[in-house]
Structure formats: structure tokens, C-alpha cells
Structure 1
Amino acid sequence: MTETEPLAFVVDDERAMLDIVTFALETQGFRCRAFTNAERAWTALQREQRPDLLVLDVMLPGESGLTLCKRVRAQGNLPVMMLTARKETDDRVEGLEAGADDYVTKPFHPRELALRARALVRRTRLRDVEEIVRGDLVLQPLTSTVLVRRTPVTLSPNEYRVLLALMTHPDETLGFAQLLAFAWGENERIGARELVKTAVYRLRLKLDAASTGGGDCIRSVRGVGYILATDPDPAPTVTEP
């Protein structure tokens, strides 16, 4: 699957926050357009190139971020990440009910936001891919179906997303932080490595149960992460963990 540099619209009435978010996204390969209110962002959404991601503050002058999110969602499946300074559960629920795909509370770690944004865009792009084939593994994103030598495998949501990340980066080592961001939407968590290791262990067991040796294609790179090997003895390409 060929990827193009994703475009993000960032909407926040605080100039400093706009600078932080756009810089963080740019470090992960995004192109960014910045807006200080919902009205200007909405106009751009109607007249310009459709972005791959909308990063949207809840509290905006004039039209609120929640209202803009609802208008955007009524027109399609553009990925929306909401930002808010509030921590109450009701506010998070309100944002998700408005149609947001992810929700980040200020203050946040810029790298975590950027990794979650990249993972969100990648998952969205894969929604329209019918099938990914890597050796004996077949993954069908439209139905979340996984086959090993034509035998279906039932995975948990996180196991599925770990496998999806590995299958879309064949012969490339993915670090623990990358897999955590892709599968759990987080950059840091207590026991994060063990969380990823446990998911991969269970994934391998399920692939082996479907076909003896089915999990052998997922290999450990000590201290770094995991690789989905498509060759008998590949030379791993290590990316930033």
C-alpha cells in the first residue's frame, strides 16, 4: 500500500497550542493547515483539498469544536481527534458521541499526540483495502478477517491491530512504542512493553493453532520490537522505536 504525506487541519484558538500541535504532527510526516476558529476551518473543508485528519479543540470562540465535529461527521468519515483541557468523563463521552475518533486531554505529550494521529490516519486509510497478503497470512480489513492458509483466526481487537501494523510494515522492525500507538492509541503506559509482548505472544499462539508454524513469521528483535518476516532469513530494517 503506497502512502502519501497526510494532510492535517488543526483548529485551536490558542496560537501557542497551534504551534505545538502542528510541529508535533510535522515530525511524523504530516503537512498541516492551522485555523483559529471553526468557521474558517469549515470553509476550508468545503473549498479546499480534503485533509486526512482534523485535530479539533473543544472550546473555540463562536462555533464550538463539538458542533464542527458533528457537521464534519454528517458529511463523511474524516478522522477527527478532539483536544480539551477538561478531564471529566462526561466531556470525553460528549466528544465521542459527536463523532470524534480519538480524544486527547491537555496537557499532553506532543509525541504521543503525533503517534496517535499517525495511527488513526493509517487505520482509516486501511478501511477501503480489501485484502493484505503476506505469505500464508491474509488479512481483510473491511471485515477484520484473518486467515492462515485459508483457516480463519479469531483475534482480540488489540491482537488484530498489532498484526495489522506488522503486515503493513513487512520486513520492517516496529518498536514497542509504535505498536502501542497503533494498537492501543497510546505512547506511554506503565508496563507498556509487557502489554505488547503479551499481545504478540497470544497472537503467535492463535496463528500456530490455525496452522502449525503460523506464528513463526512474527519474530522478536531483542530490545527493540517485532518484525513480520516474509523471507526465510531477512535482514531487518530497524525503524525508530
Structure 2
Amino acid sequence: MTATAPLVFVVDDEPAMLDIVTFALETQGFTHQSFRSAEALWVAMHHTVPDLIVLDVMLPGVSGITMCRRIKSTTQVPVILLTAKGESSDRIAGLEADADDYIVKPFHPRELALRALRLVRRPSDLSQTMVAGPYELDPAGDCVYISSVRVLLTPNEFKVLMTLIAQPGKTLGFDRLLLAGWRDADRMGGRQMLKTAVYRLRHKLESAVPGSGEAIESVRGSGYRLNIP
């Protein structure tokens, strides 16, 4: 990784798609390495950890979904999944694999590049530590401390939690949280995407400090709120 140009690993078995994706990323200042299989990506990650991975789902050998799970079990690198399948079940499978974003082919190259840029940026509005009850957000934008226990978060999870912590006890609507986490309140399957992210967030908090995951309350038909003890 470099301090000036974020490094992205792009994985697709179609040369034409690799060219489209890498060119789009170059327009936003990324450097990149390209791979034709998930296995080749995995070997490269033993030597270099990128700032972002753009990963096709339909790959020969190990699938993108399987590789995404493997990546997320060992690192916090953001992952964008690409696929020609648009069914909701496929989107849910990607999100359950802990993917940070999911884009269906065909897509606009600039949209992909801007979504990629969003994932490697640190939250710009967090200039100092944000604290609410036992929760303390790290200004670096990648974790939360619960009574001094560190919990690593993905960029989307961090932004959702940051928004909830900023207004403890207040119910925040689905659109508000989708805008905070993904900058898009109108995405197809957005509520299911948010639901999956909150489920993962609760699980991480609960695993670190029993009882902490229950603080994020679902408000039926409205959204979520963070209850501070």
C-alpha cells in the first residue's frame, strides 16, 4: 500500500472486463494489480495487502463468494463483488460473505470507481474521538472500543455505528443509515443490505463484550437506534 495512491487488486477471468475496471479505477487515482483467478489473488495477498479488492463472483475454481469469506476471515480489506447475476439471493449471498459493496454487470465504470473511492476514504467528519457510554470510535475509522475492548469494523459498519452513536437513543430511519453507510438510499435491496450489515455489527459487538450487541435496537418499520446503558 502507498500513502498517496491506494492499491486495488482486481480479479476477473475476462480480459475485457479487467481492462474496463482498471481503467475506471485509474481515473480516480488508484494503482492496481490484475488477476485471472481467486487462487492467484490469494497468493499475492501473502506478499502485499491492498487497500481494496474488486472481485468477480463467477470465477473458475474458487468462486468470488468463497474467496470473499476467506479474505474477510483474515483481513479488514474492503471488497467489492462484481457479478452478472442480479437476483436478490445472489446479492444477499455476497453480503453474507461480508462484502462491502455489490455491483451487477453491466455497470457504469464511473459508478464503480466512485464507490471504490468511497471505500478507501476515512470518514472525513470524525476529527476527534467520538464517545457514547461504553462505545468509543477510533478516529482512524476502522474500529470501536467497548469498555477498552477493540472491535474491528468494515468501513460500512463503522459509518453506520458512527451515525447511531452521534444520536444515541434516537430512532434513525433506513434511508438515513443507508446514506451514511453507502451514500445511496435508493439502491435495490438496500434495506436487506442494511439489515445484513447491522446483523454483522451486532455479532461483532456481542462477541467482544456480551450484551453490547443488544444495544442496537430494531424499530419495526422505522429503522434502528442505539440504546446507551
> Aligning the two structures, in what range does the TM-score lie when normalised by the shorter sequence?
0.5 to 0.7
Q: Which residue of 2 aligns with 1:30?
A: 30
Q: Which residue of 1 aligns with 2:8?
A: 8
The answer to whether the 8 Å contact 1:158/1:183 transfers is: no
CA shift, 1:159, in A, is 5.0
Q: Which runs of 4+ in 1 moved over 6 A?
A: none
CA shift, 1:10, in A, is 0.2
Q: Which residue of 2 aligns with 1:227?
A: none
Q: Does the C-alpha gap of structure 1 residues 25 and 96 become closer, same or farther in structure 2, counting only changes over 3 Å? A: same
Which amino acid in structure 2 is aligned with residue 103 of structure 1?
A: Y
1:202-221 correspondence runs (5 A): none
The answer to whether the 8 Å contact 2:80/2:102 transfers is: yes
Task: Output the CA distance in 1 between the equivalents of 2:100 and 2:182.
Answer: 14
Segments of 5+ residues of structure 1 without an aligned counterpart are 134-138, 165-180, 190-241
Task: Output the CA distance in 1 between the equivalents of 2:174 and 2:119.
Answer: 15
Task: Output the CA distance in 2 between the equivalents of 1:108 and 1:161.
Answer: 20
Kindly indicate whether residue 12 of structure 2 is the aligned counterpart of residue 17 of structure 1: no
Residues 168-226 of structure 1 show CA distances to partners (whole Å, capped at 9, x for unaligned) of xxxxxxxxxxxxx962188x99xxxxxxxxxxxxxxxxxxxxxxxxxxxxxxxxxxxxx
Count how many residue pairs are aligned between Structure 1 and Structure 2: 156
The answer to whether the 8 Å contact 2:178/2:185 transfers is: no
Q: Which residue of 1 aligns with 2:90?
A: 91
Q: Does the C-alpha gap of structure 1 residues 153 and 26 become closer, same or farther in structure 2, counting only changes over 3 Å? A: farther
Task: Output the CA distance in 2 between the equivalents of 1:90 and 1:60.
Answer: 18
Q: Which residue of 2 aligns with 1:43?
A: 43
Q: Which residue of 1 aligns with 2:66?
A: 67
Kindly indicate whether residue 111 of structure 2 is the aligned counterpart of residue 112 of structure 1: yes
Which amino acid in structure 2 is aligned with residue 107 of structure 1?
A: P
Equivalent position SS for 1:118:
helix
Task: Output the CA distance in 1 between the equivalents of 2:50 and 2:23.
Answer: 17
Which amino acid in structure 2 is aligned with residue 30 of structure 1?
A: F
**What is the TM-score with the length of structure 1 in the denominator?**
0.56
Q: Does the C-alpha gap of structure 1 residues 27 and 73 become closer, same or farther in structure 2, counting only changes over 3 Å? A: same
Q: Which residue of 2 aligns with 1:132?
A: 127
CA shift, 1:70, in A, is 0.8
Which amino acid in structure 2 is aligned with residue 39 of structure 1?
A: E
1:50-199 correspondence runs (5 A): 50-122=49-121, 125-126=122-123, 131-132=126-127, 142=144, 144=162, 145-146=165-166, 183-184=183-184
Q: Which residue of 1 aligns with 2:218?
A: none
Equivalent position SS for 1:69:
helix
Which entry has the higher C-alpha Rg, 1 or 2?
1
Task: Output the CA distance in 1 between the equivalents of 2:19 and 2:185.
Answer: 22
User: How much identity, in percent, do the aligned residues show?
Assistant: 52
Task: Output the CA distance in 2 between the equivalents of 1:185 and 1:116.
Answer: 14
**What is the TM-score with the length of structure 2 in the denominator?**
0.59
The answer to whether the 8 Å contact 1:146/1:153 transfers is: no
CA shift, 1:99, in A, is 1.4
CA shift, 1:61, in A, is 0.9
CA shift, 1:31, in A, is 0.7
Task: Output the CA distance in 2 between the equivalents of 1:157 and 1:89.
Answer: 18
Residues 72-113 of structure 1 show CA distances to partners (whole Å, capped at 9, x for unaligned) of 010021100000001111111111111111000000000001
Segments of 5+ residues of structure 2 without an aligned counterpart are 129-136, 145-160, 189-229
Task: Give the aligned CA root-mean-square deviation in angstroms.
Answer: 3.3
